[in-house]
Amino acid sequence: MSDIWTSRSRIEAALNHQEADRVPLDLSITLNAYINLRKYLGLPAEENVQADRFFEVQPSHDLLEALGVDVTYVRLGKSRNWSPPPPLEDGTVLDAWRVGRKLVKLPGGSYLNEVSYCPLEGLEPTDLDLDSFPWPDPHDPGFTDGLEEEARRLYEETDLALMGRFGGPVMELATYLRSFEGWLMDLILYPDFAKEMLNRIADIQIALDEAGIRAAGKYLSIFKLSGEDLGTQTSTLFSYQVWQDLIYPILARRWKAARKALDKHGGSHVKLMLHSDGAFRPFIQDIIDAGVDVLDPIQGVCPGMELEGLKRDFGQNLVFHGSVDTQYYLPRGSVEEVEQETRNCIDALGKDGGLILGPSHFIQPDVPPENTAAMYRTALEYGKY
Amino acid sequence: MEEKIQAVYEAVIQGAMADTSGLVQETIDAGFEADVILKEGLIAPMSEIGQKFEAGEVYVPEMLISAKSMKFGLELLRPHLVAADVQPLGKVIIGTVQGDLHDIGKNLVGMMMEGAGFEVIDMGVDVKPEEIIKAISEHKPNIVAMSALLTTTMGNMKTAITMMEDAGVNKGISVMIGGAPVTQDYADEIGADGFGIDASQAASLAKKLVE
């Protein structure tokens, strides 16, 4: 191993279950929290900070450097052949899947984009013609415009590890199309229809993943398989039987397609990361078996997701990404509590590599910047191997 | 249990949404008392579903279809309950707090409370504290139940409690809170009377609060 560690070699050591000089770090943060954090750290204000539909911001490199964050990411570009229709009367804006979102004001003056229109909600599957639904075109050339150049530039000009984030979610998209309640009921009432929906969505997400991987796969360290929230705060979202019969085979098909594309396009070293919130321990072994290497974001407060237990039972085969609690400690804990939480996460998950520390959800605008700074400061000091 | 009521019970357990109202109609036609149909045909199976949920034997999808089946039956039964002067266990006002549009948890809690025998007034999502206060004056509930998914919006639960106190409408009303980031500690901190970790336990707690 190298004597002088770079962000990239540090991340790759952790991904290969080896200890580097310290626990590597990642960050996901939303707009107002980002602006406040820059101010708190004494970094110059930025104009026109771009945020995605979750208000997540891609942090500038000066902030990554100030905190010791080791990862940056590349995403697909904008569609060239599709543009959004005019907003609906209540301000709802439709995306390429015809899912509508509108801005909701949060206390403190920031905003969130929330799903406000589900195009296939309330329709009986027998009345739905999925062939005539205007599915988005994953082969739109706009998605990969400049992607390879950007990935190569970041790879050559920085020592950060690159995370690829290309296709979107599969199951979560089904909840957007059918509504959350409608989709959960489909799983029981119309399982064949639910499978058909998932397969159609998966085909598109796989094509998007493949497009991104073809362009940028060889420059990545981690490929993020979008988000599939499989758990609630207290349990899995559905039974193990529904998972086995219906969900898992289709998600695994998507994950294996990503692995195959990476192997084919110079990314055989790239690790696959799956995101799921909540409590979903009963599914974890299956997730590993389907080729997932990294799990994000690890909510240790959820039953079955306790950090020590996850490390003990899955740590040989699984790298953990995230873990610092965003439901209590970061937004409402004291600086001392955040420091202790950070140390606890490192103690529980850091041994023998296998940990990329970060928040267990996007840092939201209610997180005081001193808490975010305390988390990263503590990790840099306490995370030394 | 009588065969026709047993059929309603089974339809709710199975989540046979298309069948429940027809089966309830059969029990009415057969001359069963409305409160017997309610208690044995609709409330009893929801109590069982709640226990199965807590035991990890059923999950949110099964709970949803059972709750919807119960609701279809209850809608059909409601005029008969009114005619027979069957009183609900209590009245609940429920909503997701201002700034928060997430409602699946709130909906499940509302349905489980209905399934426990409460009259539930669902105020929807993004409910302002002023609207809660107005609804209290209008409906005179026993319980106000508030939900939040986001740490950024859960503070609005506290705002609502403070405004209820300031407006003097909190007397005799229990406040329950719930949602992913919400804990018993938080309930204690903001002066709520109860916290339900899931929909089933929220309904059990509501029953205790009106005893």
Give tens-digit pLDDT for B167-204: 999 999 999 999 999 999 999 999 999 999 999 999 99
For A242, the domain range is: 7-82+123-382
Q: What is the pLDDT of residues A262-312, one digit of tens each?
A: 999 999 999 999 999 999 999 999 999 999 999 999 999 999 999 999 999
**B65 and B118 together in one domain:** no
Tokens of A189: 């009432």
Q: For residue B126, give the nearest of A104, A326, A327 by CB distance.
A: A104
Q: Give me the residue from B15, B58, B156 closest to A107, CB to CB.
A: B156
Please check whether residues B115 and B202 belong to one and the same domain.
yes
CB contact under 8 A, B60 and A238: yes
Find all residues with CB under 8 Å of A274, minimum gap 6, and list them. A225, A228, A255, A287, A292, A294, A295, A296
User: To the nearest whole percent, how much of chain B has pLDDT over 70?
Assistant: 100
Write down which residue in B28, B63, B83 finishes a domain: B83
Judged by CB atoms closer than 8 Å, whether chains meet at A242 and B181 is answered as no
| Residue B143 dihedral angles phi and psi, to the nearest 5° | -135, 140
Query: B152 and B58, same structural domain?
Result: no
Measured CA to CA, the distance from residue A84 to residue A375 in angstroms comes to 39
Which residue of chain A is at minimal alpha-carbon distance from B178?
A: A233
Is B166 touching A (CB cutoff 8 A)?
Answer: no
Angle of CA points A238, A244, A248, to nearest 5°:
90
Q: How many domains does chain A have?
A: 1
Q: Please report, for the domain that includes residue B56, its CATH number.
A: 1.10.1240.10
Do B120 and B90 contact (CB within 8 A), yes or no?
A: no
Instruction: Give strand ranges (E) for A276-373.
Output: 294-296, 319-324, 355-359
Q: Is the minimum CB–CB distance between B199 and chain A shorter than 8 Å?
A: no
Give phi and psi for A298, each to the nearest 5.
65, 85
Instruction: Measure the CA–CA gap between A227 and A247, rounded to whole angstroms.
Output: 14
Choose the closest CB to A188 out of B61, B151, B181.
B61
- Rounded-to-integer distance, Cα A23 and Cα A69, Å: 10
Backbone angles phi, psi at B95, to 5 degrees: -170, 160
Contacts of A338 in chain B (CB under 8 A): none
Name the interface residues of A facing B (CB cutoff 8 Å).
104-108, 110, 112, 114-116, 180-181, 184-185, 187-189, 232-239, 242, 326-328, 331-332, 364-366
The token pair at A112 is 């969130």
Would A112 be classed as within a structural domain? no
CA distance A348 to A310: 9
- Euclidean distance between CA atoms A101 and A88, whole angstroms: 10
Nearest CB neighbour to B104, from listed A112, A180, A365:
A180
Does the beta carbon of B17 lie under 8 angstroms from any beta carbon of chain A? yes
Judge if B75 and B169 occupy the same domain: no
Closest CA to A342 of A307, A312, A317: A307
Interface touch B58/A239, C-beta < 8 Å: yes
C-alpha distance from residue A52 to each of A82, A177, A224 (Å):
17, 20, 16
Contacts of B99 in chain A (CB under 8 A): 104-107
Mean pLDDT (chain B) is 96
Q: Which two tokens stand for residue A171?
A: 């199951």
Residue A173 predicted with pLDDT over 90: yes
Reduce the DSSP state of residue A257 to 3 states and report it.
helix
Say if residue A106's pLDDT is above 90. no
For residue A109, what pLDDT is reported?
80
Q: Which of B124, B108, B125, B126 is nearest to B71 (CA)?
A: B108
- The CA-atom distances, in angstroms, between B89 and each of B73, B98, B208 are 18, 28, 11
User: Same domain, yes or no, for B141 and B99?
Assistant: yes
For residues A211 and A138, is the Cβ–Cβ distance under 8 A? yes
The pLDDT of residue A138 is 97
Q: What is the rounded average pLDDT of the residues B2-13?
A: 97
Distance from CA of B163 to the nearest CA of A (A): 16
Please compute the mean of the pLDDT values over residues A225-251 and round it to a whole number: 96
**Per-residue confidence at A87, pLDDT binned at 50, 70, 90?**
very high
> A107 falls in which pLDDT band (50, 70, 90)?
confident
Q: In what order do the strands lie in the sheet with B194-195?
A: B119-122, B91-96, B143-147, B174-178, B194-195
CATH number at residue B181: 3.40.50.280
| Chain B positions in Cβ-Cβ contact with residue A332 (cut-off 8 Å) | 151
Distances (CA, A) of A277 to A65, A175, A341, B56, B75: 28, 15, 19, 19, 36
Q: Are residues B147 and B200 in the same domain?
A: yes
Partnered with residue A294 across adjacent β-strands are: A273, A319
- Asked if A185 and A108 count as a contact pair (C-beta separation under 8 A), the reply is no
DSSP A87-144: PPTTS-EE-TTS-EEEEEEPTTS-EEEEEEE-TTTT--GGG--GGGS----TT-GGGG
Q: How many domains does chain B have?
A: 2
Does B8 share its domain with B45?
yes
Q: Using one digit for the tens of pLDDT, what is the confidence trace for B36-89?
A: 999 999 999 999 999 999 999 999 999 999 999 999 999 999 999 999 999 999
Q: Which 81-120 residues of chain B touch chain A by CB within 8 A?
A: 98-102, 104, 107
Q: CB A63: neighbour CB atoms within 10 A? A: 18
Dihedral angle of Cα B54, A289, A276, A122, to the nearest 10 degrees: -70
Mean pLDDT of chain A: 96
Q: Is residue A254 part of a domain?
A: yes
In a domain, A110, yes or no: no
Please determine, for residue A15, whether its predicted confidence score (pLDDT) is greater than 60. Answer: yes
Domain CATH for A275: 3.20.20.210
Cis peptide before A331 (omega within 30 of 0): no
**B130 in the same domain as B202:** yes
Separation in Å, CA of B85 to nearest CA in chain A: 33
Contacts for B67 with CB less than 8 Å, ≥ 6 apart: B46, B49, B108, B111, B112, B114, B115
- The answer to whether the CB of B114 falls within 8 A of the CB of B42 is no
- Minimal C-alpha gap between B26 and chain A (Å): 24
Give the residue from B31, B65, B83 where a domain finishes: B83
Question: What's the pTM?
Answer: 0.95
Q: How confident is the model at residue A110 (pLDDT cuts 50, 70, 90)?
A: confident
Which pLDDT score, from 0 to 100, does residue A3 have? 65
Q: Locate A47 and state its tokens.
A: 């104009």
In angstroms, rounded to a whole number, what is the distance separating the alpha carbons of residues A37 and A372?
8
| Residue A90, domain member (yes or no) | no
How high is the ipTM of this complex?
A: 0.93
Distance CA B204, CA B208 (A): 7
Question: How many whole angstroms separate alpha carbon A222 and alpha carbon A357?
Answer: 14
Task: Among B54, B83, B112, give the residue marking a domain's end.
Answer: B83
pLDDT in tens, A300-359: 999 999 999 999 999 999 999 999 999 999 999 999 999 999 999 999 999 999 999 999
With cut-offs at 50, 70 and 90, classify the pLDDT of residue A54: confident
Domain range spanning residue B206?
A: 91-210
